[in-house]
Amino acid sequence: MIQCHYEDQDMLILEKPAEMLSVPGRGEDKQDCLWSRAVEQWPDALIVHRLDCSTSGLMVLARSKMTHRELSIQFQNRIPFKRYTALVSGVMTQADGWVEQPLRCDWDRRPLQIIDHEQGKHALTFYRNRGQELINGHTATRLSLYPITGRSHQLRVHCQFLGQPILGDNLYAEGEALTCSDRLMLHADLLELHHPISGERLSFSSPAPF
């Protein structure tokens, strides 16, 4: 059962579990996803945006072609406000900061993304330090991450660029940073947007499960 944070005739706010696809992938073994489970309960549900398979957290789904268009325009214009919670490896000394590093797909190692200052697309992330913790004996820093752009794997690669990969990241972490957690420690915990019909600014939150 998918957790529903909000429901009306126009839109849904659902919580995607970690290690669940947002939409079906290629092959019969990749048909189970947030969207396929959502349409079992809401047959008119339409995907507006995606989260990485390994990332958990809040997603908005539309319930008509008209509201899908309105919500999609908001995402294209970067109107929604998104915040993620992450646990990254090591001690971060600075209180907050920016990462501005362009990204592109590493075609020979898909789905990995890499920083490329010649062919990469602009990618910008703001981060805020929430303090240090011990995770299974490994020193970690809790961050709030605010993606200004929405590139694939942006938060994961930008944390790796800082030298502090996200714990449990099977693509960008190594050693203890990878093995100290059995899941990617990344969760979409805040989503703010305008209602596609009324225009009211709505805010939804989901505390990180770690």
Q: What tokens were used for 101?
A: 């590093």
Placement of tokens 């990469």 in the chain: 120
140 HSE (CA, 13 A, CB side): 24
Q: What tokens were used for 80?
A: 């929604």
Amino acid sitting at position 92 = M
| Spatial distance between the Cα atoms of 19 and 33, rounded to a whole number of angstroms | 9
Q: Choosing from 32, 44, 52, 182, which is the catalytic residue?
A: 52
Q: Nearest-CA neighbor of 152 among 79, 53, 19, 20?
A: 53
Beta strand pairing call for 186-194 and 56-62? parallel
Query: How deeply is 110 buried, as exposed, middle or buried, from its count of CB atoms within 10 A (0-12, 13-18, 19+)?
Result: exposed
Q: Does the active-site annotation cover 52?
A: yes
R_g over Cα of the chain? 17
| Spatial distance between the Cα atoms of 21 and 148, rounded to a whole number of angstroms | 23
Beta bridge pairs of residue 12: 7, 61
Q: Which residues are catalytic?
A: 52
